[in-house]
């Protein structure tokens, strides 16, 4: 009898051990399954994002009334393959009404290039709308050219973009909607920062902060014009009201026209820009930002412009516009 009870007790303990092991194993398997499923979803999402900038299927289904869309002002310099690639992509974005290529090369654009770009635009729009293409020819090679006033511009919204960066049309259209809610602001994808450098014992000396500064602090005070919306009135203001000394500085140093535009808008509005979260695809390989000493030169620009304006007009902010329809984690 005693032996039987002992055997039963051991059997119960064995059963409990097996049950506990089974439960732990199930939990581990469930956790692994959840991890694998989450990973697959993320990979699938990233894969679609990566291909998203070449997918135009959602871009031509809705058109805005004439004058209610935006104009692209694209800066370029002897990178015809990138220019063709960028124009080919943006031509299918639904809100686009016109493309203005800022041309500062010594020779005018070739007939073959103009013919190719017009053909690409016509094929991408499938004849459903008219997108005007023009080359804004400049005699002087200056970065100020990208902000020259454009006579007869029909849209209030200007999307300033470099020829070596590409955003999906969905991101561009979202940024355009954000700009429509704040048409006096610069609205774009590339934030930068500044702060008072107290290490020198001064209260009016500033340091320029690149992307990693924005990432670390979550604060920015500029949105660069390499990918940004702003009102066309700022082209007129830059052309006619920007201090001549600043434009000469930009031309001489071949840098900082985007910082100058940030100063101009902030000085006029007293408000910060708006950073829009978007997927950026760098299709170029080189640029002035890749050169050594770039940060130091930009810091010099910030302090030079603050002195010219007689104050620091840039307004820091931590706000960021996110399209919640396409984002799991805000």
Number of H-type helices and E-type strands within the chain: 9, 13
Q: Give, as one character, the DSSP assignment of residue 12.
A: H
241-245 long-range Cβ contacts below 8 angstroms, 24+ apart: 243/308, 243/309, 245/308
Catalytic residue among 49, 204, 258, 323: 258
Orientation angle between helical segments 244-253 and 294-309, nearest 10 degrees: 170
Is 258 a known active-site residue?
yes
Q: Give, as one character, the DSSP assignment of residue 145.
A: G
Among residues 146, 171, 163, 182, the alpha carbon closest in space to that of 273 is found at 182
Among residues 145, 149, 151, 119, the alpha carbon closest in space to that of 133 is found at 119
Residues 6+ apart with CB under 8 A from 243: 308, 309
Q: What residue has token string 């960066």?
A: 165
Backbone angles phi, psi at 96, to 5 degrees: -75, 135
Backbone angles phi, psi at 212, to 5 degrees: -65, -30
Q: Annotated active-site positions, please?
A: 258
């Amino acid at each position: 009898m005693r032996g039987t009870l002992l055997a039963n007790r051991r059997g119960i303990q064995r059963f409990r051990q097996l049950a506990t092991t089974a439960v732990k194993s199930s939990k581990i398997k469930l956790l692994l399954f959840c991890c694998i499923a989450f990973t697959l979803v993320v990979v699938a999402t990233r894969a679609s994002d990566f291909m998203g900038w070449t997918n135009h299927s959602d871009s031509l289904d809705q058109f805005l009334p004439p004058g209610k869309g935006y104009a692209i002002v694209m800066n370029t310099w002897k990178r015809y393959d990138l220019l063709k690639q960028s124009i080919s992509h943006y031509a299918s974005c639904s809100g686009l009404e016109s493309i203005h290529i800022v041309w500062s090369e010594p020779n005018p654009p070739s007939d073959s290039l103009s013919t190719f770009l017009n053909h690409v635009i016509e094929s991408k729009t499938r004849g459903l709308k008219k997108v005007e293409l023009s080359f804004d020819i400049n005699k002087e090679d200056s970065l100020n050219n990208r902000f020259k006033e454009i006579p007869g511009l029909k849209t209030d919204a200007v999307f300033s973009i470099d020829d070596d960066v590409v955003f999906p049309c969905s991101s561009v259209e979202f940024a355009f909607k954000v700009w429509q809610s704040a048409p006096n602001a610069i609205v774009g994808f590339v934030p930068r920062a500044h702060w008072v450098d107290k290490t020198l014992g001064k209260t009016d000396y500033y340091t320029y902060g690149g992307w990693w500064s924005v990432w670390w602090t979550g604060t920015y005070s500029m949105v660069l014009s390499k990918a940004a919306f702003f009102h066309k009135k700022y082209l007129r203001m830059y052309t006619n009201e920007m201090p001549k000394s600043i434009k000469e500085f930009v031309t001489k140093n071949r840098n900082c026209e985007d910082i100058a535009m940030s100063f101009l808008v902030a000085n006029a509005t007293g408000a910060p820009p708006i950073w829009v979260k978007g997927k950026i695809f760098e299709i170029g390989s080189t640029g002035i930002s890749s050169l050594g000493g770039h940060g130091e030169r930009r810091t010099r620009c910030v302090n030079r412009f603050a002195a010219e304006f007689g104050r620091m007009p840039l307004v820091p902010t931590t706000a960021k516009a996110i399209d919640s329809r396409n984002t799991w984690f805000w």
